[in-house]
Structure 1
């Protein structure tokens, strides 16, 4: 296995469009690194540059100790799994698994051994004589993974491999990919637009938006300390609630949203960090699980009151959709008796659970 290192890698198309603006990150040897972001953010372009399927405008790309900017895809010692399974319909599973090795001139014995090993690892032993049309989507995707696996490359590249699967299959395949990575310890770079996939699979995550890297960190650090408003709103399901207003001080700090006054508590450290932003526009974020319905306001508990619009029971929890003077809020709460839609609901929160961002740059303050 080998690591993958990008240093100021940039992709500019002939029409002047900047697909990737100076990406710098490293997928460490044996790491499962996820590139995530909305459509058109540059994540797949970055993966294709690593694979050699897209030329690099500037910057340096290394696999292991070798700079591969001008190395042909077939000589980079990588294997790629695409969104489409791209299996040969007239071949059996065994033939599909071994076809790449056959093209490389490997012996029959080597091909048979590696096919057996991959089939064992992916639970395909009983399907080796089947053709793709006789298999489910999840089984076909396992064959696509196996075809990459038998090549024993230094790096695996996976481009939204679960996008064509239904929700249940996506869940089971996420588990299979995580299990596979743990067993073989391979370097994997995985692209997805699905932030749940990114959070559950990635040892670290690179968040892209508009061709630029927004933040690189572990899943939980991204969740608890997003670097900016984009990351805060993108990662999390449901997304973080974001309230924009002017920071004011009047016997304590509060966010002036016009029709709403949001108390920010009296934590000395937070007050110190926010001091230079008084009378300036900021954004305050709070996760849905950090808002708690209260039967009545509590004197020492900062709170807000919003109108309950929609209740979404999903079994072990309930999502509450509320309107705070034109601002949409969502609350995640355990099952409980709740007022009817249209009622006013008081929500308590801990000031320590709040996130603060600069109103102009969107960068994190606290």
Structure 2
């Protein structure tokens, strides 16, 4: 197990390096200049000497490869650089913005898992075909609805017509509800879609028929026998959808006028603040890697056969190496 985790950590480092490298060269391929956007080269108050001084301050006057190596070395030491727009440390900007984003992202993920999983179990548990068809048609509808439109509808109904939740800002628990529901809709729909299809297949397995023959109730068959094995595809999708939750905060925080990583990203992209955008990309890649590593570690708990297969594969590989040495 430790060997497997070490291998996954090495892969995680490779993913982080690739994400930083791709974002660095893609951002520098953009035609505009962040220093020019900051100082405003159309203004007569900015001289070429001032523009060159700012470029030298940020190291933008050096060759691109030299900049990449220098900044990568700083990242390895925990220094993400300074914002071109505000001249504040990027780590401080991300740290201040990360808290509100984590709040709505975790709340949205929890709602998505509970609502999506509950809908899938209910849709495969009911016996009336018409009701089952209605419930199974809801996940594709949730995937098709644009997140920003759903957020605006929630604002219209629950902030303006029924003033239950605040429309904008970060004002405690009440201000988290509508953004979290907006984020949970597409994620929960995908989970419900995958889990319901997996449950339909799993309920046809022989061991499920055996459990029914022994007198197990439908609820017990679903929750104890079928759900554990059927949850594996949905669990994989949940790990992948964590990145989508962070991406959805850009729209959600804009719609609800919340501070957070999403608004910081939108502002940095608009100003072409390269250090901030690279820092956000690196944080997003880190969250994505950690989420998928957690999913890989949870897999053997749901299906112990995976761990036994991994051990048997390692045993066969070791035996093969021993045989090769003996032949040599």
User: Fold-level match, TM-score > 0.5?
Assistant: no
Higher helix share: 2
Structure possessing the higher relative contact order (Cα contacts under 8 Å, 6 or more residues apart): 2
TM-score, normalised with respect to structure 1 = 0.21
Q: Which has the higher strand share?
A: 1
